[in-house]
Structure 1
């Protein structure tokens, strides 16, 4: 909030806010509800990066990590980082897709869909001109393991991480640098 006020006072125009849920280095997590309130107060776009930890949100007991996420304008998480999807697979939720289209659309003649009103051109939802069909990767995961199977995998990883962290904390030659955040923690030998 203070940085936004200071930037505006200096004549700068903030573009938006990026909040994090489970940063891939030590699991850093912002208070999403508080960040959403700041974004709303200043009329700024809020993106939530949950690239790694977003997969854990399929488990109800971990959703407190992104309390307030309904205030975000976009959310991203990558099932290839924890759900076991083949690389690369990224999921993006967007409150108003037309914002992306307006920002990223290009309309050379060969890409126009004249006479086809109502067609959703997914090439306008990202910087690349095309989207490969990645949804099938998730379909196969859900068919092979089911939602409960994927939840069990995540719960196991969290329990194993907590168990290993507790064991290393008792070792003389190891120091925990960060406490477990879901299945991630860092240590020093």
Structure 2
């Protein structure tokens, strides 16, 4: 005679854990994106079965998002051609969302996977080369301070700065 206590119990999983989509490498907590400049978003691909991803720029105090790209190959890198001028300050982060093909989406009841970057900041260029024509930039000459039109500062920047590359590179 057998009782219910003799029947082995099966473990019930309370939640099904799916493989993580990715891990964001850049931007990281110490990153500062410069408005108007290109940047690279870099991530480790943890599940290569996710072929395409959507990338969004978000802020911790807002539900609004800025679309970085609606669809990018899940290769681990995407170059964002220009950080928008309308953004500045702390509290930004990147959201990478798995794009699920429509046929699979109808068969699947689960939400697409996503991963978030660390919180980072968006700032201005530290160089005065973005001043508009006719604006004045202070320049020190022989211990005195004079003002020089912005073309001079642009020329100095060109001569003393290496050519610009994105803050992170995909290559």
TM-score by shorter chain over 0.5: no
Q: Which has the higher helix share?
A: 1
* Structure having the higher Rg: 2
Structure ranking higher on relative contact order (CA contacts 8 Å, 6+ apart)? 2
Name the structure with the higher strand share: 2
TM-score (normalised: structure 2) = 0.23
